[in-house]
Structure formats: C-alpha cells, structure tokens
Structure 1
Amino acid sequence: MVNRERLVQEFFEVVKINSQTKNERVMADYLKGKLTEIGLEVTEDRAGESVGGNAGNVIGVLGATADKPAIMFSAHMDRVTPGENIQPRVEGDIIKSGGDTILGADDGAGLVGIMEMLRVVKENNVAHGPIEVVFTIAEEGGLNGSRNLDVEKLQAKRGVILDCSGDAGLVINQAPTQDEIVAKIHGKAAHAGAAPEKGINAIAVAAKAISRMQVGRIDEETTANVGVIQGGSAVNIVPDYVEVKCETRSLKEEKLVKATEAMVAAFVQAGAEANARVEMDVNRLYPAYHIPEDHEFLKLIKEAGTAVGLEVKLEAVGGGSDANIFNGKGIVAVNMAVGNEEVHTVQEYQKISELVKAVEMAVKIVELA
C-alpha cells in the first residue's frame, strides 16, 4: 500500500531543501506544489509576518468523500542547525546525513509521511471526511507557527502531529507546560582591586540566588533549569549587570507555578540582601495537555495501530511541540512517532521501515475516523 521507494525519494528531496527557522520560503513553495499535485486546495497564512519570517503556515484541504468528521495532520517545515546543504545517504534500512549536519528527519519525516498518507488514501479510494493538513513554520523557534495559526479556519477538532522520535506506535498523549524566566540584576560597578567594597557584584547576587534553587528534576513531573548567564565586561571591574535565563516545566499547572515562584523568590531575595535591583520577566511559552487513555480519539488511534500490526504505547514527555498549542486552541491532538532517533544532532538517523509503518497507521486513522 505505502510506496517505500517514493517515500524515500521524497524524503531525500525534502531534507535537501534548506529550511531554517523563519527562512522556510523554498520549503513552503515546494510543499504547496506537492499538495496541489495530490489534489488538495492549498493556502498560506500570514504567520510569517508575525514572527519575522519569510513564509507562512501552509494549509491544505482534501475534500470529503464520505460523511465523516474532519481530521487534521500536521508537521513543521523548519529545522535546527547545522541543517543546511544536507547530504542524505541510505545504509540498509537507515537514512543518515553525511556526518557534518543533522539529517532533517525532524521534521522532514513528518512532512513526507503526511504526503504519502494522502497519496495512499487517494490511490486506494479510502472513504474519508475532510482531511486538513497544516505544515507549520518556526516550530523550533518556539512553536511560533502553530501559535500564530488561526484555528477558527479549520474544521477539524481532532489532529495528529507527526513530529516524535521513536518507533511507530509511540503516541504522546501528555506533555508539560513551560515558563521562561529571565532575571535582570542591576548592581553597581567599581574597581575590583582599588575599591571592591564600593561595588555591588551582580554576578555574585545571581550566584547566591542560584545556590538556593532546586534545579534539575524536582519530581517525576517537574523540572527546572538555569541555562544562560550573561554579564560582566572585565575581570578588574565589579560587574554591575547580569542577565540569567531559566526555565521550569511541569505536567501539572500547580507544580509549575510553585517552581517558577521559587526561582523568582530566590532572585528577589538575593537582590534585596545585596541592595541590588532585580527585574523579573516570566513568560508562559505553551500550555500542558493530557488526553486521557479512555478518550474516544485515543481509542480510535489504538484501534488503527492494532489493525496495522503495531502496539500503541502512550507516553508523557518532558518537552513541548505543536501538539501543545493545538490542544490549547481546542483541537484534541496527539504527537505520533515517525521512526527517527538522535534528533538535533549530527548523529540523527531515520528508520525507513518505521516511517512506512507510521504512514500505514496514519492511513488507518483516516479510514477509521
């Protein structure tokens, strides 16, 4: 049913297209052409204008052939660095890069998997309701494509995101919410050798605050991290400014709030003790989602997996994806594995057979929806 040779050929075409975050123009045009060839009505929104990019989200609709509800499939067009001039190669069942770039299976596998699913549905006359395809921009830059998508223009209330590492059958039904926390600490400059007592060391204030924090894994559902510290200008000057970037994540809203408040309090207290001025910026990046195992959509997905010989495994993850945004906007969406591993590294690779299985499962989801 799935044309493996066609799938691999299109994978090669997609990953060879340079498509960095906010520079997805060539990829968007390629995908618009492919979706039009398959028979979808294709549009492009203006999300790129909102994020400073050169392309918008690509949206395609395959009209219904049966009286069934609409379903959405989504993947993202952008990729992380080093992701330009990728040279993919096949070794048995594995696709790798040349070793000096990522492969781009995140999320090239999702893009080609959805297009192959559409072709198989049409070639085999699978009865279906409206199939809506959303290829988003700037996912790697903060889920910005889906964040700026007007979901009111979509019919679907259920969706499948093809953007997860692991073997086919793995389905992410729970993911955390995340806060970005930035502390800006204003101290007082002074000569570090002649008059250090006249200064207020902003870096020392930050260090004291961080020493009081619980970072890493707080519990099985919550993490916290201090990721970036920028400040100081010379070793002989008491630094008068430092900026510290942190994050908290949790599957539970109340735990996230507690972890974020603890970080903020540590910075504020350390600043007060040193008579330094502290500015705190807290930004909610995306909401959490949890689709219960007994939800009708998950029952359908499990049935689809079983029908194509896969064991469906439901898991919670510690990172966000477009699925977080779609769920937050009222579309019940899961993230489904497409068979890649070691993403965001030059060791990234794609299992061809697992991508084939993921496409087969997607086709069955359409059939059963």
Structure 2
Amino acid sequence: MKTDRIIQQFIELVKIDSETKYERKIADYLIKLFKDNGLEVTEDNTPLETNHEAGNILAYYPGNKQKEAIYFTSHMDTVVPGKGIQPSIQNNYICSDGTTILGADDKAGIAAIIETIHLLKENTIDHGDIYFLITSGEESGLVGSRYFDETSLPVKYGYALDSDGDVGHIITSAPSQVKLYATIYGKAAHAGVSPEKGVSAISLTAKAITKMPLGRIDEETTANIGSFEGKGPTNVVCEQVLLIAEARSLSEEKLDKQVKAMVEALQTTAEAMGGKVDIKTEVMYPSYRFDETDKVVKTAIQAAKKIGAEPILTTSGGGSDANHLAGKGVPTVNLAVGYENIHTTSERIPVNQLKQIPQLMIEIIKGVDTL
C-alpha cells in the first residue's frame, strides 16, 4: 500500500471537473488510465437514455486463478458546486477550500479502485475475473446504473464504494424510492371582487399536504414534500400548482401504502374543494436487503476483520447504484469509504480512511471462493 500514491491520485481526480451530466472529461481520463494499466475497457451507450455526456465505463481485469468473478463500482459525477476544486491536506483530512464540494463522493471510491489495480499488478495475489464499473449520472437519480445492461457484468456479486461511515461499515439494505409528480388544478377568479367563485390551487394543495403522513413513518419508511409551486398575481385566485414529493421504504408493501395515502389525500381534497388533480408516480430505484448469511456480506465481514476494521452492518435511508445493480439480479452491498459532510462545501475525508479502502478491497478479492 502506497499512501502517497493514493493521495496524489485522489487529488488529481477531484481536480477534474465532473458535475453530474458533464462527465466527458473524467470519463476520457479514466478510459485512458485503465487502458494504460492493461485493462479491457468499454463505454456503454446509456447517454442515449440519460442525456449525459458520458456513459458507464466497464473495465475488466482478467483472473489468474479459477475463482468467482466479482466487481466493484463507483460513480464519476459529483454534485454542484464542483468546478475548480482546490483540495488540500489539513490535520490529516483532505478537504476543499470551502467554496466547492471536495468530490470524495465518489472519487474516493475511484481512487481506491485505481490503487487496487496497482496492488494487483505489483503483488502476487490469486484472484478471479474482476470488473470495475464506473457509472455516470449517479447524482442525477442513479440514471447511469438505471440503464446499465447487467448482462455485461458476468459476476457472482459485488460492492459499491459509496457510503459515509468508517471503512468496515457495510450497508446491507437500502430502500426503494417512488417520486410523485402532481398537477393540481383550481379555478381562477378575481381575488378581491369574487374570490368565492374561485378555487385556490395553493389552498387545495396545502390542505392535502396536511392530510398526508410525512417524515419518519416507521423504522423502514419515510416521505417528504420536495416542493410545490403556484405562480400568479395576488389579485387572481391561483388556478394551478405543481407538486413534487417522494416516499421511501425497505418494504414494498409499506411503500405502496404510503404512496396510496399521499395520492388519496390529493384526490379527496381536490374533489371536496371542486378542483382536480393529475398525478404521476415513478419508481426511481428498487430496494435491496442482505444479511450476514449472504456471501456478498460474509466476504466483506471477513475482509474488514483482516484489516483490523470493525465490520458493522447498517441500513441506509438513501439510494445508491447498489440499489439498481442488486435489483437487476447482481447481489451488491454498499461499503463505507469514510467521507464526511458530502454534498456540502465542508466535505472532507480522513487520509487514514482513504488508504484503508484498497486494503479492504484486496482482502475481499483474496476472500473470494475458488471454483
């Protein structure tokens, strides 16, 4: 393990602008890097579906022993503000200058993948086929993994490198998410002369929201209103509102119940007030759930112990590319990579966590079963 090398690689990666949708520059960088290291590399045609600059990159490292094939995945895009990132090391943390994010989410994972490739080349390690999937558009709703063709990934199981928490934490379950898009129609009228002739879409929406179960519903389920907007002059009763909401749950039954409750609140309120509503719901990604009896988890637990990390099995309230890959039939859990305060200008990552990720990956690779 060469600490200086992974630090330098990470810093080089975060300096490459790659805000979500605009991933072309970093995609080209990674394709060249993987090819220069002797891997077979392909980029898929998902931009036809996602409208992002780059597709998903799949790099193949052939095995030297008859062992089960596995994969690791990270995403190349970042949230905003992610242009002109200036990283530095302060008190054993790598951070930005405070005007941008750092981009450890998820360039820490990519740096660890690159360091793992170096370690495989430099050391005698028995391993089967290994695939490295670098997705685009994760920060735009997991769109890269959503349209990824899982048949190009002939593996037994794998790992996303994309969670906060100390290295050794294993996210064994994460919820499904449904987005709700509603257009609420009222009836326009003069707000001063004849307001009683109108139906305020804003009032209708507000009353419907008060009838919805929101926030923490139970230990597996959450719901939230993202926004609702009705525009117009104050002298006109507002006749249209656009609302965006979401619900998440580890239980499909509970998720269906929650979405139904939100839809019914809108529909019954609209009917009672003389308005109407058009509602569209969309499943953004499926849930996944594994436990210590599953091979993908057992292998990670053993690897964490090997590097002296405490394996802790946890549940996430958010989604990652692991949701889509697991949903496509490829057993996948998400591994913590140590970054902190992601999606903020206070984002940072401890140097000691960054260097532990490839150590964990190598032990996972060593722990894969022989065929």
Query: Do both share a fold (TM > 0.5)?
Result: yes
| Partner deviation per Cα, 1:196-238 (whole Å, 9 max, x = no partner) | 1111111111011011111110111111111101112111110
Instruction: State the match for 1:15 in structure 2.
Output: 14
The answer to whether residue 136 in structure 2 is matched with residue 147 in structure 1 is no
Matched letter for residue 66 of structure 2 = D
Instruction: State the match for 1:263 in structure 2.
Output: 262
| Partner deviation per Cα, 1:116-154 (whole Å, 9 max, x = no partner) | 111112211211111101100000001000111111011
Give the alignment's Cα RMSD to 1 decimal: 0.8
Instruction: State the match for 2:45 in structure 1.
Output: 46
The answer to whether residue 279 in structure 2 is matched with residue 277 in structure 1 is no
2:158–2:296 CA contact under 8 A, matched in 1 = no
Q: Distance in 2 between matches of 1:213 and 1:161?
A: 34
Segments of structure 1 that go 5 or more residues without pairing to the other structure are: none
Q: Distance in 2 between matches of 1:263 and 1:336?
A: 33
Matched letter for residue 134 of structure 2 = F
Instruction: State the match for 2:353 in structure 1.
Output: 354
Instruction: State the match for 1:207 in structure 2.
Output: 206
Matched letter for residue 182 of structure 1 = Y
SS of corresponding position for 2:234: coil
Instruction: State the match for 1:312 in structure 2.
Output: 311
Q: Distance in 2 between matches of 1:214 and 1:355?
A: 40
Instruction: State the match for 2:336 in structure 1.
Output: 337
Q: After TM superposition, give the deviation of residue 299 of structure 1 in Å.
A: 1.3
1:175–1:290 CA contact under 8 A, matched in 2 = yes
Q: After TM superposition, give the deviation of residue 307 of structure 1 in Å.
A: 1.1
Q: After TM superposition, give the deviation of residue 260 of structure 1 in Å.
A: 0.5
SS of corresponding position for 2:139: coil
The answer to whether residue 288 in structure 2 is matched with residue 289 in structure 1 is yes
Which of 257-266 and 121-130 deviates more? 121-130
SS of corresponding position for 1:340: coil
The answer to whether residue 159 in structure 2 is matched with residue 184 in structure 1 is no
Instruction: State the match for 1:83 in structure 2.
Output: 82
Q: Distance in 1 between matches of 2:235 and 2:79?
A: 38
Instruction: State the match for 1:136 in structure 2.
Output: 135
Q: After TM superposition, give the deviation of residue 298 of structure 1 in Å.
A: 1.2
Instruction: State the match for 2:54 in structure 1.
Output: 55
Instruction: State the match for 2:119 in structure 1.
Output: 120
1:102–1:346 CA contact under 8 A, matched in 2 = yes
SS of corresponding position for 1:134: strand
2:39–2:60 CA contact under 8 A, matched in 1 = yes
1:48–1:137 CA contact under 8 A, matched in 2 = no
Q: After TM superposition, give the deviation of residue 96 of structure 1 in Å.
A: 0.6
Instruction: State the match for 1:227 in structure 2.
Output: 226
Q: After TM superposition, give the deviation of residue 157 of structure 1 in Å.
A: 2.6
Q: After TM superposition, give the deviation of residue 107 of structure 1 in Å.
A: 0.5
Q: Distance in 1 between matches of 2:8 and 2:172?
A: 31
> How many residue pairs align between the two structures?
368
Instruction: State the match for 1:171 in structure 2.
Output: 170
Instruction: State the match for 2:249 in structure 1.
Output: 250
1:22–1:48 CA contact under 8 A, matched in 2 = no
Instruction: State the match for 1:216 in structure 2.
Output: 215
Q: Distance in 1 between matches of 2:4 and 2:112?
A: 13
Q: Distance in 2 between matches of 1:350 and 1:3?
A: 17
Q: Distance in 2 between matches of 1:39 and 1:170?
A: 31
Q: After TM superposition, give the deviation of residue 37 of structure 1 in Å.
A: 1.8
Matched letter for residue 153 of structure 2 = L
Q: Distance in 1 between matches of 2:149 and 2:214?
A: 36
Q: After TM superposition, give the deviation of residue 296 of structure 1 in Å.
A: 2.0
Q: After TM superposition, give the deviation of residue 341 of structure 1 in Å.
A: 0.4
Matched letter for residue 230 of structure 2 = G
| Partner deviation per Cα, 1:301-358 (whole Å, 9 max, x = no partner) | 1111111111111100100000000000011011111111000000000111111112
Q: Distance in 1 between matches of 2:241 and 2:296?
A: 48
| Partner deviation per Cα, 1:162-210 (whole Å, 9 max, x = no partner) | 1111111011010001110112111111111011111111111101101
2:322–2:332 CA contact under 8 A, matched in 1 = yes
Q: Distance in 1 between matches of 2:284 and 2:85?
A: 30
Q: After TM superposition, give the deviation of residue 65 of structure 1 in Å.
A: 0.4
**TM-score normalised according to structure 1 size:** 0.98
Q: Distance in 1 between matches of 2:173 and 2:319?
A: 10
Matched letter for residue 300 of structure 2 = I
Q: Distance in 1 between matches of 2:190 and 2:112?
A: 61
Q: Distance in 1 between matches of 2:354 and 2:97?
A: 20
Instruction: State the match for 2:155 in structure 1.
Output: 156
2:296–2:333 CA contact under 8 A, matched in 1 = no
Q: After TM superposition, give the deviation of residue 156 of structure 1 in Å.
A: 1.0
Segments of structure 2 that go 5 or more residues without pairing to the other structure are: none
Q: Distance in 1 between matches of 2:323 and 2:29?
A: 27
1:300–1:365 CA contact under 8 A, matched in 2 = yes
SS of corresponding position for 2:355: helix
Kindly report which structure 2 residues correspond to 1:235-246, keeping only aligned pairs within 5 A, or say none.
Answer: 235-246=234-245
Q: Distance in 2 between matches of 1:89 and 1:290?
A: 38
Q: Distance in 2 between matches of 1:166 and 1:297?
A: 19
SS of corresponding position for 1:341: coil
SS of corresponding position for 2:138: coil
Matched letter for residue 178 of structure 1 = Q
